[in-house]
Structure 1
Amino acid sequence: MSYLEYTVKSVPSGLRKVLFLNWPVAILLASVAGVGFLMLYSVAGGTFTPWAEPQMKRFALGFGLMLMVGLVPIWFWRSLAGAAYLATVVLLVAVELFGTVGMGAQRWIDLGFMRLQPSELMKITLVMLLAAYYDWLPAKRTSRPFWVLLPLAFILLPVFLVLRQPDLGTSILLLAAGGGLMFLAGVHWAYFAAVLASGIGLIAAVFQSRGTPWQMIKDYQYRRIDTFLDPSTDPLGAGYHITQSKIALGSGGWTGRGFMQGTQSRLNFLPEKHTDFIFTTLAEEFGFVGGVSLLALYALIIVFCVWSAMLNKDRFSSLLTLGIALNFFLFFAVNMSMVMGLAPVVGVPLPLVSYGGSAMLVLMLAFGLMQSAHVHRPR
């Protein structure tokens, strides 16, 4: 036995779990959150209120939550997967019945001390359920039709409920994350080819339904698509967001204008500068170098999560970790694509950087589950 192994084994079991946490991921998460605090301080004009200070408190709470969840045995979270999913479905139904309306959408439940967005929670509980399902299901049944339809129903139910809020962005993320986890679990590629063909047909149907009694999506969602295809058609209306976003991105150049020197955000040309479009503020102030640096931090988090999943011999833990990594990737990839004009504007925040309560706490809860899988993996 090496000196290091002897030292670790001599530590009390509770403290040993702390040592076994995936600290590179924890440090990277804190680094990304630090970038967020810096940008929220900047967009507020050099003050910690009204955004940076609450965000710091939420991250501190979320970081503590991540550590606590990470120290709980993974079998406990596996046993809660079904109940957590059902509870979140009930919350989504509750949003439909008496949810709080904001910016034209009914997505929140007012708890008094905070507004809870159940669709954010569903991103995690759906991954938990699918990971538990494929851990339970024998590998030889993974691609049989009945056993494929069941997880598809698990995915489509919350997608339908979230679409009714309406929240197209989160619906797409749920669909992509659920489908991605099915693929990672070993479902045959032919099913995904069929889904891709159906998706193309669905997109065609969406465009054909415009202006008809059976219109499939809301008018503002069509405007977002029009804006994505040609922002110049309405530069002062639906195209304003993306036009100003591109101006901010371009004006940053290689190294940016400097901290708190971004004209687009300081002069309030950039809308939603503290939430969905905060990446453009960062790119304007710190340029291409700043944007790539943030992207590198995100990429390292994904790499460490995938590495942890590959080392884990427990199927549930491995799939759970991969599902959380996939969700995280979709989060920042969609947001960055959106603000750069590579994808329609669908209202997806930049993880740990955009201002927000539910998204921050749910994301840290997700990484707590990843930590639990990492700490309690078979050794």
Structure 2
Amino acid sequence: MIKPLRLWHYLTRYVDGFLLSGILLLMLTGLATLYSATDANLSRVTNQAINMLVALGIMWLIANIPLQHIMRIALPIYVAGLFLLLGVALFGEINNGARRWLNIGVTRIQPSELMKIAVPLMMAWYFDKHEATLRLRDYAVATLLLLIPVVMIMRQPDLGTALLIASSGFYVLFLTGLSWRIMAALLIAGAGSLPILWSMMHDYQRRRVMTLLDPTQDALGAGYHTIQSTIAIGSGGVLGKGWQNGTQTHLDFLPEKSTDFIFAVFSEEFGLVGNSLLLLLYLMVIGRGMIIAANASTQFTRLIAGSITLTFFTYIFVNIGMVIGILPVVGVPLPLISYGGTSMVTMLLGFGILMSIQTHPKLVKT
């Protein structure tokens, strides 16, 4: 009896139980929704379960790594990520007009996913190194560290991933105490650059923005996703139609129903009550992450914990926003619910860092 207890203690000593509970409940919700969205396709559900187990294993490994070691690899990971993005630009595979994947022989990788963690790690490491003498130029350097990968990813083009990485970097800047006047100036400068950004966007990206304003102008084309998803959400009502009883889903009106638009499937079948419970689960995870960030002992741990948690919130906000029609369709999955392994691994890698911050002895600056 003693040995199993020791094994259990060994497996869970660096795992935050509250955070893990929220993650597992969301995963189980995702599997149930995916089962319905794929018309009871057990093969697809099994593949997703395997993705989840792999991601949980990676989360556990990262949670067991002390933060000192994670700090040391921040710069090498960032530099490696930039070289991989350069490799994508030069040698990447083109799929549906986008160059996002790099074939490394044994498999294909998407380096932009790595940068979701590498960028906030690098920026947090930089600010931690300059904490005692933080000046305006340090913010300028950190902004440059953020803009380089964001621009490279936008050119692939991958607007959704670029948006998430930009938000993760912005949260680091915000949490360091960047002046409100500077943020206001950046906001004004960003608004002024919108015409330039518009000219740099691809035609399909411009169509997405215009479709946001009036989906009915191309009801069978660019506006189809938004129209069908809002119909599905509205038809769910307060209590929903019941698990596996969504008509928009099972009559194949709803596109991308197992990936980007899985929230519409969930809404149609479980209604407003189900959505409220789902958002409560998300709030549980976000709240725990913010508590970990607030209790962090160093600048580095506080910044990286806050950025990971707020980026998770951004995933949720952007996905639900595009499904209900208040944001353009940018291809951002609903975290821990949508089908897919790459984003799942990235998110749980971040949660592993959160657990390491919470459960390891507090870092002391030397």
TM-score (norm 2): 0.93
How far 1:377 sits from its partner (Å)? 4.0
Residue identity in the other structure for 1:78: M
Distance, in Å, in 2 between the alignment partners of 1:315 and 1:96 is 34
Inter-CA distance 177–305: structure 2 relative to 1 (3 Å threshold): same
Distance between the aligned counterparts of 2:56 and 2:99, measured in 1?
29
For 1:295, what is the secondary structure of its paired residue?
helix
Structure 2, unmatched stretches of 5+, are none
Corresponding residue of 1:198: 189
Distance 2:237 2:128 in 1: 48
Residue 77 of structure 1 is matched in structure 2 by 70
CA-to-partner distance for each residue in 1:81-129, whole Å, 9 max, x for gaps?
0001111111111211222333332212245775422212111111111
Q: State which of 118, 122, 135 in structure 1 corresponds to 2:115.
A: 122
Structure 1 length-normalised TM: 0.90
Q: Within 2, Cα distance between the matches of 1:269 and 1:13?
A: 49
Are the structure 2 counterparts of residues 150 and 137 from structure 1 closer, same or farther at C-alpha, using a change threshold of 3 Å? same
In structure 1, what is the equivalent of residue 288 of structure 2?
A: 304
Mapping of 1:235-314 within 5 angstroms?
Answer: 235-314=219-298
1:355 to 326, 336, 339: 339
Written as runs of structure 1 = structure 2, the 5 A alignment for 1:1-379 is 15=9, 18-49=12-43, 51-110=44-103, 115-141=108-134, 144-207=135-198, 215-378=199-362
Rounded Cα–Cα distance in structure 1 between residues aligned with 2:88 and 2:296: 37
How far 1:267 sits from its partner (Å)?
1.2
What code does the residue aligned with 1:160 have? V
Letter in 1 for 2:162: S
For 2:247 and 2:113, locate their aligned partners in 1 and report how far apart those are by CA, in whole Å: 32
- SS for the counterpart of 2:99 is strand
Q: CA deviation at 1:308?
A: 1.2
User: C-alpha displacement at 1:140, in angstroms?
Assistant: 4.4
Find the aligned partners of 1:127 and 1:314 in 2 and give their Cα distance: 15
Quote the Cα distance in structure 2 between the aligned partners of 1:29 and 1:320.
Answer: 19
Give, as a single letter, the amino acid of the residue that structure 2 aligns with 1:267: L
Contact 2:171/2:306 (<8 A) preserved: no
Structure 1 pair 348–309 and aligned structure 2 pair: CA distance change class (3 A): same
Say which is worse superposed, 311-320 or 360-369, in terms of deviation. Answer: 311-320
Give the partner amino acid of 1:157: I
Tell me the distance in 1 between the aligned counterparts of 2:121 and 2:225.
Answer: 35
Query: Does the Cα contact within 8 Å between 1:246 and 1:340 map onto a contact in 2?
Result: yes
Percent identical = 39
Contact 2:14–2:63 (CA<8 Å) still a contact in 1?
A: no
Asked if structure 2 preserves the Cα contact closer than 8 Å seen for 1:252 and 1:285, the reply is: yes
Deviations 1:336-364 (A, max 9, x none): 01101111111111111111121111111
- The separation in 2 between residues aligned to 1:329 and 1:218, in whole angstroms, is 27
Q: CA, structure 1 residues 28+266, in 2 after alignment: closer, same or farther (shift >3 Å)?
A: same
SS in 2 for 1:101: strand
Question: Shift of the alpha carbon at 1:47?
Answer: 2.5
For 1:26 and 1:225, how far apart are their aligned partners in 2? 37
Superposed CA RMSD:
1.9
Verify the 8 A CA contact 2:14 2:356 in the aligned structure 1. no
> 1:178–1:370: structure 2 CA closer, same or farther, 3 Å change rule?
same
Asked if the contact 1:95–1:107 (Cα under 8 Å) also holds between the matched residues in 2, the reply is: yes
CA-CA distance at 1:372 after TM superposition: 1.2
CA distance in 2, matches of 1:15, 1:372: 16
Aligned residue pairs, count: 359
Alpha-carbon separation, structure 2, partners of 1:288 and 1:188: 39
Query: C-alpha distance in 2, partners of 1:146/1:55?
Result: 45
Structure 1 unaligned runs (5+)? 1-10, 208-214
- Specify the code of the residue in structure 2 equivalent to 1:254: V
1:234, distance to aligned residue in structure 2 (A): 0.9
CA separation of 1:189 and 1:227: change in aligned 2, threshold 3 A: same
Opposite residue 238 of structure 1, the aligned amino acid is A
Q: Using the TM superposition, give the Cα deviation of residue 301 of structure 1 relative to its aligned residue in structure 2, in angstroms.
A: 0.5
